[in-house]
Amino acid sequence: MCSSRAGRFPSPPVFPLLLLVLISLPVSLSRHPWSTPPGGGGAPHLTDSKKYEGSSEFVHLRYHMGPVLTGNVTVHVIWYGRWLPRQKHILRSFIRSISAPSTAPAGEPSVAGWWGTVRLYTDQTGSNVTRTVRLGREKSDRRYSLGRRLSRMSVQSIIKGAISARTRPLPINPRGGMYLVLTSDDVTMEDFCGQVCGFHYFTFPSIVGYTMPYAWVGNSATQCPGVCAYPFAVPYFVGNPPKIPETPPNGDVGVDGMVSIIGHELAEVASNPLINAWYAGGDPCFPQEIADLCEGIYGTGGGGSYTGQMLVDKRSGAAYNVNGVEGRKFLVQWIWNPVVSYCSGPNALDQ
């Protein structure tokens, strides 16, 4: 039953899944869309059988007739725990970049271009996922209202607290509103690091009073950056010789790592807000959604333990693949493209 696992929509084994591959080659390979890992840590050899990132005869992404977010989306953020102003700036900029009209002078590839793949998903009426994702209101929960050890279900209580706060409660707009709960690096979450880096689901009327999509993403900096902020941190056992972590484009390993997980969750909320729209696999309790299919892929040739070809910031040497507002750069994972049936992103070299 799904209900016993409510809230588990892990998207994310982001890295966990990949780690499994690394640890237990070749047993778990068949579970992966990218079942042909390139050898070593260098650039992969593109063969005919691995021409397109994530492509696989095993992926059967289907539309299950539920709604997708076709109207303007407003993301209301809850900052749970202790957040530095500069950390908030990075994440706000990323969300604002999704629908930014132009990111000049940096230009393409852009975060808005990356969202273009998400827009390829449609509902029963043929309407596409919205172009407009706005940063809504924000609420801080500095006093850890539910403590520092959270369960998945407690995220809904955090949301309930934020919409029913006596001062400046977050708005409730069931049409187009969603909540994004971000926890600081000193907060633990059930299954964090092992199975999930983030998840999304929808609120229950019995707890929150409404049915609205939400997502949770944690800052993994002190708990498992090698899992949830890869490739800005690398587990000690990966690579021989050990792989060197990439430099994060905004100078914050945990927060730069969160950017990609937030992108992952927002893409899935938009295409599968009530867990009955776009996913692959027969079990709605364990769907493979449009970002799950492309975890760990950030550029051309990505798959296995190889991130794919990223861009390098000439000034800082940081790895990134998209430009955003305010001259910021971000690294965000690719998304499954339903038109061509492989993962794609705006920094592709061969598409």
Per CB under 6 A, residues contacting ligand NAG are 72, 119-120, 122, 128, 132, 338-339
Closest to ligand NAG by CB, 8 vs 119, is: 119
3-class secondary structure, 46: coil
Closest to ligand NAG by CB, 128 vs 247, is: 128
Closest to ligand NAG by CB, 92 vs 119, is: 119
Q: Least distance in Å: CB of 348 to ligand NAG?
A: 16
CA distances from 79 to 66, 87, 91, 136, 210 (A): 30, 11, 11, 13, 21
Q: Which of 3, 21, 25, 350 is nearest to 202 (CA)?
A: 3
Closest to ligand NAG by CB, 28 vs 122, is: 122
User: Could you tell me if 11 and 289 are in contact, meaning their C-beta atoms sit under 8 angstroms apart?
Assistant: yes
Q: Least distance in Å: CB of 116 to ligand NAG?
A: 6
Sign of CA dihedral 98, 331, 292, 290: positive
Q: Least distance in Å: CB of 33 to ligand NAG?
A: 19
User: Could you tell me if 122 and 66 are in contact, meaning their C-beta atoms sit under 8 angstroms apart?
Assistant: no
Q: Least distance in Å: CB of 237 to ligand NAG?
A: 40
Length of the chain: 351
Q: What one-letter code names the amino acid at 47?
A: T
Sign of CA dihedral 254, 260, 261, 262: positive
Q: Which of 221, 227, 231 is nearest to 183 (CA)?
A: 221
Q: Least distance in Å: CB of 337 to ligand NAG?
A: 9
Closest to ligand NAG by CB, 121 vs 306, is: 121
Q: Would you state the structure tokens that stand for residue 273, as one six-digit string?
A: 């807000």
Q: Least distance in Å: CB of 290 to ligand NAG?
A: 12
Query: What's the burial of 29, exposed, middle or buried (CB within 10 Å: 0-12/13-18/19+)?
Result: middle
Closest to ligand NAG by CB, 95 vs 233, is: 95
- Residue 100 to residue 113: CA distance in whole angstroms: 10
Closest to ligand NAG by CB, 92 vs 131, is: 131
Query: What's the burial of 317, exposed, middle or buried (CB within 10 Å: 0-12/13-18/19+)?
Result: exposed
